[in-house]
Amino acid sequence: MSGVDVTGFRRACRAEWTKLRTEAGHGWLMVALVLVTVGVGAAVSANVPCPAAGCGQDQVRLSLTGVSVGQVFPAITAVLLMGGEYGTGLIRTTLVALPGRGTVLAAKATVLGGTVLAVGSVAVLASALAGHVLLPDAGYTPAHGYPPLSLADGPTLRATAGSVLYLVLVALLALGIATAVRDAAVAAGSVLALLHLFPLLSHVVTEPHLQRLLARIGPMPAGLAIQATTNLHRLPIGPWAGLGVLALWAAAALLVGGTVLRLRDA
């Protein structure tokens, strides 16, 4: 990459960071990401009992349940970051100041991804801590076959780190879709529909092989496989492979969005 490109990218990142931190809505969405993710995870950890040995629950996944609810906030942040600019016409000013459209999208993705990585880490780690405190009171004790929740345990560390990456990839998926459709409301609806379509279809269809296929290719069910720490052989897709499926969805959305951004007028 040439020096001019690096300079332009840095300028674009500074501009996007300024937008992200100065617009109050983005900040509140990040706060909501933490509060909802931790709140839902804590509620599940406290209220799903394990009254006897072999209750069959994955305590790590229980503590991280809030991620599947909190994901809506980074998705909406991404949609507003791009779709909001189209709605207000600010995108024209952005593209005049930074004519490299690919650079603009790359800068938005970098700033958004870095922000969600930082805030998502707080949310996920706090959820794991809440699980560590609350799960024993619900019966998840060594006597029932559940050692204390700890990041020193390899599968637990993988599930928590993967959950943070899941949130980042959902945000990038939403950014790509928002760039392609250019309307914040339509983009938000499209992202949420895409995330929940495959789990919904899995409950509608009755053919086991088709259910398994939907769980393997859907961005949400495949991506959330990263949270599993028990009975991995029963999963439709492995944890890292599932997260890879979500990464492919995000990359495809960004590719389509970037192509539309380059080929169409603002």
Please give the pLDDT value at position 1.
41
DSSP string, 48-67: S---STT----HHHHHTTHH
Q: What is the value of pTM for the model shown?
A: 0.94
Say how far residue 204 (Cα) sits from the centre of its chain: 25
Please name the residues in contact with 153: beta carbons below 8 A apart, sequence gap of 6 or more.
Answer: 147
What residues make up the domain containing 220?
3-263
Identity of the residue numbered 36: V
The pLDDT tens digits along the chain (266 residues) read 444 468 888 888 998 899 898 887 899 999 999 999 999 999 999 999 998 887 889 999 999 999 999 999 999 999 999 888 887 777 877 777 776 888 899 999 999 999 999 999 999 999 999 999 999 999 999 999 999 999 999 999 999 999 999 999 999 999 999 999 988 899 999 999 999 999 999 889 889 999 999 999 999 999 999 999 999 999 999 999 999 999 999 999 999 999 998 887 75
Closest CA to 112 of 176, 68, 161, 162: 176
CB 137 within 8 A of CB 46: yes
- Alpha carbon distance 54, 111 (integer Å): 44
C-alpha dihedral (158, 196, 72, 169), degrees to nearest 10 = 40
Please name the residues in contact with 113: beta carbons below 8 A apart, sequence gap of 6 or more.
Answer: 168, 171, 172
Count up the domains in the chain and report the number.
1
Closest CA to 250 of 78, 34, 100, 95: 78
CB 90 within 8 A of CB 129: no
DSSP string, 166-202: HHHHHHHHHHHHHHHH--HHHHHHHHHHHHHHHHHHH
